[in-house]
Amino acid sequence: MIKQIRTEQLLPGMYIHDLNCGWLDHPFMSNAFYVKDQATCDKIVNLGIRELYIDTLKGADVFTGRTQAEVNADLEHRLQEIARKQAEKPVVVELRDEAVRARRLHGEANKLARLVLDDVRLGQTIRMERVEPLFDSMVESVFRHQDALLPLARLKNLDDYNFEHSVGVAALLIAFGRAMKQPKEVIQELALGGLLHDIGKASVPESILNKPAKLTDDEFARMQSHVNESLRLIDGVPGIGKIARQVIAEHHERIDGSGYPNRLQGHAISLYGQMAAIADVYDAMTSDKVYNRGMPPTQALKKLLEWSKHHFDPQLVQTFIRAIGIYPTGALVRLESNRLGVVIEQNEGKLLEPVVRVFYHAGKLHYLPPEIVDLGKVQDRITSCESFEKWKIDPHQWLPA
């Protein structure tokens, strides 16, 4: 049985099924392993992990704790509650009109993010005259129709994750800021902070950034040093305002004080730092990396809800979920009819009933003639969020073009 327990209940002899945190938030080889000694238990507690999952068939048990199925049922209920609240996503242009512009913009954004990272590695300063037009264009695209750019920002090449992740976080922060009804000038700063939030990783050796094995304590500390290194790199660069700096400085802080580099707590973390932390974790969880496979978007949203008990502000997490959708654009979903499709557009006020491009039958295992299905107008409904890898489906092929 898989059971959720508090970390202070962890004892030697237990088998950890899931550490219940991001891959880069711990130095262990895997999220699942047998606990041999008390030192390992203490290390997990010190990492700031509050709850984790054990496998009682592979190791010792405790009398208390909820099963994984019970936790998931509760999270599913909470998602349903969030879906009942209205989510405003005013559309300025049709999706098909913005999709072409968004694809071009996404390609330009990834190229520029790479150039900025390469410049920093060569010891050059950040050239804001090249960066400013980019985040301005991203903001305008999301304001015209966010379902064009957001799914593209989730698509990443394994070898290019470290700079494409920054583009993804920037796009998410634009949508998040819009949902928070922030002024456009604030959202522009959020986008800039997102683009530059991990710039300090330029000084972290590739052997650490992409290491598929357990990080040593020194390597783990070196990885975490990227925040302070980012702040050093932007120091004195004109055009980077307070909000962008807060995004860069605080995106790894957590409201319970378990984050880094300064272990800030509660309101000591700015609103924009808290927003950045949510967007950063979501994008990381849903992205494939050389050392870890990403999870389906809806599963990642459930994790954010679960972790909002300790690490994130619950109201901000709920706003983020309403901003991008229960089944975010670009997600592969399975319908009651046993058909698979990609979510291509959100229905305003109907978070459980997006527009889906259906193209595959999961029961008969064959492709279907592509069909656009507005779930707000038919009886079919989504039963699960699926993995592209599991079905060997190329996500690039089915997104808006």
Measured CA to CA, the distance from residue 56 to residue 312 in angstroms comes to 29
Q: Given a cut of 90, is residue 396 above it in pLDDT?
A: no
Over the stretch 200-231, which tens digit does the pLDDT of each residue have? 999 898 888 888 777 888 998 999 999 999 99
Task: Please report the pLDDT score of residue 210 as a whole number.
Answer: 80
Percent of all residues in the chain with a pLDDT value above 70, rounded to a whole number: 97
CA dihedral 114, 116, 224, 13 (to 10 degrees): -10
What pLDDT, on the 0 to 100 scale, is given for residue 152?
87
To 5 degrees, how large is the angle CA 219–CA 254–CA 238? 80
pLDDT tens digits, 14-23:
999 999 987 6
Name the band, by pLDDT with cuts 50, 70 and 90, for residue 400.
Answer: low
Q: Average pLDDT of the chain?
A: 91
pLDDT of residue 162: 75
Instruction: Report whether pLDDT(310) > 90.
Output: yes
Contact 10, 59 (CB under 8 A): no
Tens digit of pLDDT for each residue in 103-142?
899 999 988 888 888 888 888 889 888 888 888 999 999 9
Question: Mean pLDDT across the stretch 59-64?
Answer: 92
SS (H, E, C) the chain: CEEEEEHHHCCCCCEEEECCCCHHHCCCCCCCEECCCHHHHHHHHHCCCCEEEEECCCCCCCCCCEEHHHHHHHHHHHHHHHHCCCCCCCCCCCHHHHHHHHHHHHHHHHHHHHHHHHHHHCCCCCCHHHHHHHHHHHHHHHHHHHHHHHHHHCCCCHHHHHHHHHHHHHHHHHHHHHHCCCCHHHHHHHHHHHHHCCHHHHHCCHHHHCCCCCCCHHHHHHHHCHHHHHHHHHCCCCCCCHHHHHHHHHCCCCCECCCCCCCCEHHHCCHHHHHHHHHHHHHHHCCCECCECCCCHHHHHHHHHHHCCCCCCHHHHHHHHHHHCCCCCCCEEEECCCEEEEEEEEECCEEEEEEEEEEEECCCCEEEEEEEEECCCCCCCEEEEECHHHHCCCHHHCCCC
Distance CA 312, CA 307 (A): 7
The predicted model scores a pTM of 0.92
- What pLDDT, on a 0 to 100 scale, did the predictor assign at position 25? 80
Mean pLDDT over 311-323 rounds to: 96
Model pLDDT for residues 145-162, shown as the tens digit of each residue = 999 999 988 887 766 777
pLDDT confidence of residue 88? 63
CA of 119: how far to CAs of 115, 116, 124, 304, 336, in Å?
6, 5, 5, 34, 50
* 382 and 327 Cβ atoms separated by less than 8 Å: yes
For residue 79, pLDDT over 70 is answered with: yes
Residues 76 and 302 sit within 8 Å (Cβ to Cβ):
yes
**What angle, 0 to 180 degrees and rounded to 10, lies between the N-to-C axes of helices 128-153 and 184-196?**
90
Higher-scoring residue by pLDDT: 159, 334: 334
* pLDDT > 80? residue 92: no
pLDDT at 158: 64
